[in-house]
Amino acid sequence: MPDRPYVLLSAAMSVDGHIDDSGPEPLLLSDAADLDRVDEERAGVDAILVGATTLRRDDPRLLVRSERRRAARVAAGRPPHPTKVTLTGSGDLDPGARFFTTGDTAKIVYVASPGLETARTAVGAVAEVVDAGHPVEVHRLLDDLCRRGVRRLMVEGGTAVHTLFLTAGVADELQLVVAPFFVGEADAPRFVGPGRFPHDSAHRMRLAEARPIGDLVLLRYLLGGRGA
């Protein structure tokens, strides 16, 4: 059994590296074809993870949209949707968010130790709340997911979460879609923030695929030598 899940990071960004703008509504960076590609990736994983900021800002459902793909998962003895996972420092989450209210699948909240009671009070009735250390320890989180049978984890952001996984050296694959426009706002969220990223040969990114999707392009990188 592997010591941790295979970790796939997935993001779409503008040419200048932004994953959103500063407006009140989420910025749509993908087209229908790319959203279907993401749905296919979701259907192939055991769990999907996003950070608490993404829950608050985008209110994602994190479900497999295709009925055919859901049926294929069920036929293979899997739940129709992957387990939903989030991580939070404060534990301040809305139990009415679509993350918690949609989809017949498990929901897990990893929370930094000081926010544990806040998270249990807020969402303990609709999700399993797990102490992830202080600050959140990504290796501890991955060990716990591995013990739960998660073999393939898809991480969908946002900035702090992608930065956390990349600086910890635990990303195995990066699927980065580049949209053909600029956001140009200094305070708009970026794909990653500042951090100490590994630069040794074991974490060198290798381009495995460059695929046009209409006017978008998918860049698929492998990291760490584990393969796809």
* Residue-wise pLDDT tens digits, 63-115: 999 999 999 999 999 999 999 999 999 999 999 999 999 999 999 999 999 99
What count of other Cβ atoms lies within 10 Å of the Cβ of residue 155? 25
CA atoms of 103 and 139, how far apart (whole Å)? 27
* pLDDT for res 68: 98
* pLDDT for res 227: 57
- Work out the pLDDT band at 37, boundaries 50, 70, 90: very high
Task: Tell me the C-alpha to C-alpha distance, in Å, between residue 95 and each of 57, 81, 105, 146, 179.
Answer: 14, 19, 15, 26, 33
* pLDDT for res 224: 73
* pLDDT for res 192: 97
Q: Output the six-digit token pair for 116.
A: 């544990």
* pLDDT for res 228: 55
Q: Which of 210, 191, 195, 225 is nearest to 11 (CA)?
A: 191
pTM of the model: 0.95
Residues 6+ apart with CB under 8 A from 55: 86, 93, 94, 97, 99
Looking at the predicted structure, is the pLDDT value of residue 168 above 70?
Answer: yes
What pairs with residue 155 in β-bridges? 9, 49
CA atoms of 188 and 67, how far apart (whole Å)? 35
- Work out the pLDDT band at 184, boundaries 50, 70, 90: very high
Mean residue pLDDT across the chain: 95
Q: Mean pLDDT throughout 184-206?
A: 89
SS3 98: helix
Looking at the predicted structure, is the pLDDT value of residue 24 above 90?
Answer: no
Burial (CB count within 10 angstroms: exposed 0-12, middle 13-18, buried 19+), residue 179: buried
What domains does the chain contain, in order, with CATH numbers?
A: 6-222 (3.40.430.10)
- Work out the pLDDT band at 46, boundaries 50, 70, 90: very high
Q: Which of 32, 15, 47 is nearest to 146 (CA)?
A: 47
CA Rg value for the chain: 17
* pLDDT for res 25: 87
